[in-house]
Chain A
Amino acid sequence: MAILVDKNTRLLVQGITGREGEFHSQQMIEYGTQVVAGVTPGKGGQWACDGRVPVFDTAAEAVAASEANTSVVYVPARFAADAILEAADAGIPLIVCITEGIPTQDMIRVRAYLDQKGVRLVGPNCPGLLSPGEAKVGIMPGHIATPGSVGVVSRSGTLTYEVVYALTMHGIGQTTCVGIGGDPIIGTTFVDVLEMFENDPLTEQVVLIGEIGGSDEERAARFIAERMTKPVVAFIAGRTAPPGKRMGHAGAIIEGGTGTAAEKIAAFEAVGVSVAEHPEQIPELVSS
């Protein structure tokens, strides 16, 4: 068992004929994910990924023909907001947006619309989802993960891979690895994912990887104190980040003196969450 994506995921790929879209679709198929359709406006009727995936002009046509229940978006930033809205209007209940660089104000409108429709968005600017042995949706390298009982949730990409790989090397498997994304406005927060892991019978522990900026980690700490029974290990990147500078991710910035790593670490420690000093300590903290 896993959260968000599993063997029953029927995936629609938006932007499937783009360089990233096609490459990662191949990778997802090789991992065993059911990639049932793709969308690229103007390329309807073609086939992608060596003739294995039918391409449609619109998400609505793709959903009608394929019964897709999840979508992944690889569309360039200036068109990505439209792609997300299109998937939502086509009736897709779970949309994973990989695209980086979507204007914040586009995401404010998208998020308000999706909330009203009850559609879940993961991302944007995220590596996607990986339920080891079941399905992968996004760009995470599949072979670094292994099935097990630890849930992983992170705002980062390669830092997540590093941690997942370290867990795997220590013989600690994962239920699902969730990249929630590094932007200021995201569809799914730490609290949302913690709640899913708390309710997932196979997840026994959770690793949370946060970073500077915003206060999502502080809310996660409150949620852990009030609602979680499963142990959580945390790591926060950006202890040495200067204020007022964006550290790569649009959302990784200390603004007006808030969003520092120190505040986030203190919030977790105050509720009894172990916080790793550096990523390689995480496997020890999980197994202890």
Chain B
Amino acid sequence: MKLHEYQSKRLFAAHGVPIPRGEVATTPEEARHIAEELGGPVVVKSQVLVGGRGKAGGIRLAQTPDEAEKVAGEILGMEIKGLPVRKVLLDEAADIRQEIYLGVVVDRAAHRPVMMASSEGGVEIEEVARTNPEAIKRVTIDPYLGLRSYQTLTLAKGIGLAGEHRRAFDRIARGLYQAFLAYDASLAEINPLIVTAGGELLAVDGKMVLDDNGLFRHPDLAQMRDVDEETPTEREAREAGLSYVQLDGEIGCMVNGAGLAMATMDITKHFGGAPANFLDIGGGAKAERVATALRLILADPNVKAVLFNIFGGITRCDEVARGVLAALDEIRPTVPVVVRLVGTNEAEGRAVLEQSEYEMLTAATLAEAAQKAVAAARGDQQLAVSS
């Protein structure tokens, strides 16, 4: 789950990271009041869960409360990479002398957290990794020892930070790591961390991604989930315990297991179609679960055919087939449905499907199923039946 800039910065601040004075507005009038309160120039920053806000014109400077109101009004009406701007953050503008990147992520290969710093602040770290990888300094953190001051010193020297700022840098780095731990984050970053004209370090932008598996420990944070992070269908699926990702193709895929679901999406593409979604219905394939999943798939108007690909392992294919039939009876889809069952009791499963009065296409192999689904989605019933 992603957090907004203002949410991330507040959580960092709770762990001793200095952030600019600022407040969130949802209307231009509120923005004006906040700018009056802050006094002096402010930065008006769109709060959307995508990168590249600055380039899109979603971060602008305002010298007066009047200007803040006007700028906030313009930004609040914007869409950035398809996401509507519903909130703006107004921060006291800072006089920037130096910009630094500082972040903590989970290093999968080292199976530990790693802290990264770069002298190229304000640029996305992936961009720096491509253009100037030497500029990124890293330290790996032992989970039992935590982040040590000699490590933050190594980072500070590595990025050429002047000696007078190293104590403040150490405090901020350790605060950031504490926040990363405290909220079960998979990413916590300050970009940029600035040195002001007055010689202070300040986190002017912040980002945090939380581990969904750790959210049970943070019910307060779970409530911060932004509605725009998921499509309505994705949210409904998550609430139903299904793993679903919306795509823009025309073949709705319903599969048990994540790896098999991806392989099923891939094979529709291989045969010239495009998947409309990723969907893992999990083990068991009970009728009720299949019905919910089918309803979600059919809610997408792009879907022109549905492909069921079910591997019966511990669950027997005939049981799965009865689940599929019950779901089809309940939902009565108007688009063609291709069903492929393989594994335990597959012959019995196919026999169950054949007895049904509901018209569906069956297939023995994944390749055959995908070809039939692709043909059916094109409206080529003839080909679909004969292939």
Q: Does B139 contact A (CB under 8 A)?
A: no
Partner of B266, one of A111, A237, A245: A237
A21 within 8 Å of B (CB atoms): no
Asked if B267 contacts A214 (CB within 8 A), the reply is: no
Contact of A251 (CB < 8 Å), options: B108, B126, B184: B108
Contact with B along A134-164 (1 / 0, CB 8 A): 0000011101100000000011111111100
Chain B interface residue count, CB cutoff 8 Å, equals 52
How far does the alpha carbon of A13 sit from the alpha carbon of B121 in the complex, in Å?
50
Return the chain A residue nearest B187 by Cβ: A255
Residue B33 interfacial (CB < 8 Å): no
Whether, in the assembled complex, B106 has its beta carbon less than 8 Å from a beta carbon of chain A, the answer is yes
Cβ contacts under 8 Å, B261 to chain A: 247-248
A171 touches B (CB below 8 Å) = no
Given contacts A141-B314, A156-B257, A247-B245, contact A104 B213 (CB under 8 A): yes
The answer for the CA separation of A247 and B266 in the assembled complex, in Å, is 13
A residues contacting the other copy or chain, number (CB 8 A): 64
Distance of A104 from chain B, by nearest CB (Å)? 5
User: Within the assembled complex, what's the spacing in Å between the Cα atoms of A23 and B283?
Assistant: 14
Candidates B129, B181, B270, B313; contact of A161 at CB < 8 Å: B313
| A103 vs B143: C-alpha distance when bound (angstroms) | 14
- B108 & A256 in contact (Cβ 8 Å cutoff): no
Out of A107, A108, A209, A219, name the residue touching B259 (CB < 8 Å): A209
**Chain B positions within 8 Å of A107 at CB level:** 111
User: Does B311 contact A162, Cβ atoms closer than 8 Å?
Assistant: yes
Instruction: Indicate if the CB atoms of A158 and B256 lie closer than 8 Å.
Output: yes
Chain A residues near B275: list those with CB within 8 A. 240
Is B278 a contact of A247 with CB atoms below 8 Å? yes
Selecting from A44-52, A67-75, A199-207, A274-282, the interface stretch reads: A274-282
Q: Does A16 contact B (CB under 8 A)?
A: no
Q: Is B91 an interface residue (CB 8 A)?
A: no
- Cα A257 to Cα B130 in complex, Å, equals 11
Assuming A144-B344, A211-B262, is B184 touching A103 (CB within 8 A)?
Answer: yes
Determine whether the beta carbon of B142 is less than 8 Å from that of A112. Answer: yes
User: Judging by beta carbons under 8 Å apart, are B311 and A250 in contact?
Assistant: no
In the complex, B269 has a CB within 8 A of chain A: yes
Judged by a CB distance under 8 angstroms, whether A120 is at the interface is no
Asked if B184 and A105 make an inter-chain contact with CB atoms under 8 angstroms apart, the answer reads: yes
Contact indicator per residue, chain B 157-189, by CB within 8 Å of chain A (1) or not (0):
000000000000000000000000100101000
B136 within 8 A of A: no
Q: Is B27 an interface residue (CB 8 A)?
A: no
Distance in angstroms from B52 CB to nearest chain A CB is 13
Answer whether A279 and B270 are a contact pair too, CB < 8 Å, given A27-B314, A104-B214, A250-B213: no
Question: Is A117 in contact with chain B by the CB < 8 A criterion?
Answer: no
Please give, as numbers and ranges, the residues of chain B lying within 8 Å of A242 by CB-CB distance: 245, 247
Residue of A nearest to B343 (CB): A165
> How would residues 11 to 35 of chain B score, 1 for a CB under 8 Å from any chain A CB and 0 otherwise?
0000000000000000000000000
A77 at interface by CB-CB < 8 Å: yes
A88 at the interface (CB under 8 A from B): no
A212 interface residue (CB < 8 Å to B)? yes
Q: How far apart are the CA atoms of A37 and B111 in the complex, in Å?
A: 31
In the assembled complex, how far is the CB of residue A16 from the closest CB belonging to chain B, in whole angstroms?
17
Any A CB within 8 A of the CB of B342: yes
- Decide: A104 and B262 in contact? CB cutoff 8 A: no
Give the one of A102, A184, A216 with max B CB within 10 A: A184
| A239 contacts B by Cβ under 8 Å | yes
- In the bound complex, CA of A162 to CA of B310 (Å): 10
Query: If A140-B313, A165-B343, A240-B266 touch, does A101 touch B126 (CB 8 Å cutoff)?
Result: no
* Cβ A103 vs Cβ B109 within 8 A: no
- Check if B112 is an interface residue, CB within 8 A of chain A: yes
Return chain A residues, CB-CB under 8 Å to B247. Answer: 240, 242
Whether the pair A277, B270 counts as a contact (CB closer than 8 A) is yes
Q: Do A280 and B367 touch (CB < 8 A)?
A: yes
With an 8 A cutoff between CB atoms, is A286 at the interface?
A: no
The reply to whether B258 and A143 form a contact with Cβ atoms under 8 Å apart is no
Docked-complex contact A237 and B259, CB < 8 angstroms: yes
A248, B258: Cβ atoms closer than 8 Å: yes
- In the assembled complex, B263 has its CB within 8 A of some CB on chain A: yes
Contacts of A182 in B (CB 8 A): 258-259
CA A278 to CA B247, docked complex, whole Å: 20
The yes or no answer to B211 lying at the interface (CB within 8 A) is yes
| Contact, CB under 8 Å: A161 / B211 | no
Q: What would 24 A/B residue contacts be, using CB atoms closer than 8 Å?
A: A78-B216, A103-B184, A103-B214, A105-B184, A108-B111, A108-B112, A112-B142, A113-B144, A141-B343, A144-B313, A144-B343, A158-B311, A159-B260, A214-B109, A216-B109, A235-B263, A238-B265, A247-B261, A248-B243, A248-B258, A248-B261, A249-B259, A279-B366, A280-B365
Question: Chain B residues in contact with chain A, CB under 8 A?
Answer: 106, 108-109, 111-113, 125-126, 129, 142-144, 181, 184, 186, 211-214, 216-217, 243, 245, 247, 255-263, 265-270, 274-275, 278, 280, 311, 313-314, 342-344, 365-367
Extra A-B contacts (8), CB below 8 Å, given A247-B258, A278-B367: A139-B313, A159-B259, A159-B262, A161-B343, A211-B258, A237-B259, A237-B263, A238-B266
